[in-house]
Structures are given as C-alpha cells and as structure tokens.
Amino acid sequence: MTPLPHFLQARSGTSFFSASSATPCPDAGRVRCAVLIAAAVLLLSSALRAQESVVTLVPTSTKVAFTLGATMHTVHGTFKLKSGEMRFDPSTGKASGAVVLDATTAETGNASRDGKMHREILESAKFPEIVFTPTQVKGSIAPQGISEVDVTGVIRLHGQDHDITLMISVEPAANGELQASTKFAVPYIKWGLKNPSNFFLHVSDTVDVEVHATARLARSHQ
C-alpha cells in the first residue's frame, strides 16, 4: 500500500484516517481536514496511475523473417533480435523504449547474395542496427485469449526514420510470458535503399516482414 504523505501523519504517529483516533476534527478545523483528505485521495490516485506496463522481448525465442519476391523465385531470410523493451502507460497509451535488430545478421542462405545485400543494400557495416521506437499503444492485453494491439512508432532503417503502425496479436502463455506476432511491409526502395533489380532480374520494391516473439510483461512505477 502507498504510504500516506508526511503532512497527513499526526504527531502521535497515527494518521487522520486511523481507527484509533476517536476525536473528530474540531469545527474550526473541518475545512482543513477536508482539504487534507482530498489531497491524500489525489496523491493515492496519482500513485496508482503512475504504474506502467513493461514488455521485454526474449531474443533467443524471437524470430524475425523477411520475404522478397523476385522474377525467378522468392527470397526468404531472417534477422536476429538484439534487444527489445517497450514501456507504456495503460491509461494514456504513451509508449517508449526500443526494439533493435542486428542488421549484420541478415541472411538468406546464399553466401554470394548475402554478401551483396550487406555491401550494397543494407550497408550493414555502416548501419549495423535497425531500430523500432514505439510512441503510442492503442488497445489492451486481455488476461486470456488473443488481443489485438496497435503500436505506432518510428523505424530507423539505413540511417533514416520512417513512421509506421504495427498491428500486433498478443496471447498470454505459460510462466507469465506472452506470444506476440505481427506482419508488415517495408517499401525499402521508397525509403532510400538501393534497388537490386537489373536487366536479368526484377525484384519487388517492398519486403514483407513477419515477427513471432516471446515476451515478458511486468508492471513498474514511473
């Protein structure tokens, strides 16, 4: 329980709300008592509102996959999650934190293609991280079943920031963990990355990304 403010503690060590205090407030002090009680209620309410939710992703059990369509075949690849934490206020939806992908781990199973991707497209030596920074959460996580949550934020890719809203499905799992998944398209050429198409090969101008994550939910005070 949140302790009462210092000014509400009586000199004897009891509070104005103590059951052991049998003497009512004198007439001259009724207004002062009312003000103090109202202040205590406001402070206690503020303390409850100050709680925020903290979602921490588990890198070892989170999969980030991408798909790129091409004329001859479809390219499938993966990234590794470096870290991920999102904090949000359930009462306002205001969010903060960062989900960080290690761009240097991108691979498609073809060494030659991967080398070109890192040198010419991602330029991962220069831009080693892809970061999503959440700013707003819409929706709530139910204690059972699947919940749909919209998370708005900014993706920093190849040194540039881009606004995006992710539609995320969340379901409680065992041991207090959550299973979360989302799909979204990245218009990488529009966002400034090099077009890998040539005379013989034409690829899509968007990359489809799919994320399946394990997360832990906790509460903390702001």
Residues 135 and 139: their CA atoms lie apart, in Å, by 14
Residue at token pair 């000014």: 7
Quick one: 51-221 is in which CATH superfamily?
A: Lipid/polyisoprenoid-binding, YceI-like (2.40.128.110)
d(CA 127, CA 97): 20
For the chain, the structural domain boundaries read 6-49, 51-221
Q: What is the pLDDT along the chain (222 residues), one digit of tens a residue?
A: 445 444 444 444 444 334 444 445 555 566 666 666 765 555 554 444 457 899 999 999 999 999 999 887 899 999 999 999 999 999 999 999 999 999 999 999 999 999 999 999 999 999 999 999 999 999 988 889 999 999 999 999 999 999 999 999 999 998 889 999 999 999 999 999 998 887 667 889 999 999 999 999 887 755
Q: Say if residues 99 and 132 touch (Cβ distance below 8 Å).
A: yes
Indicate the DSSP class of residue 119: I
Contact by Cβ (8 Å): 77, 108: yes
Q: Which structure tokens are listed for 161?
A: 């920031």
Contact 76, 98 (CB under 8 A): no
pTM metric for this prediction: 0.75
d(CA 200, CA 72): 10
- Judged by DSSP in three states, 35 sits in helix
| DSSP H/E element including 208 | strand 207-221
**Could you tell me how far CA 137 lies from the centroid of its own chain?**
8
Phi, psi of 61 (to 5 degrees): -120, 25
Cα distance between residue 168 and residue 184, in whole Å: 10
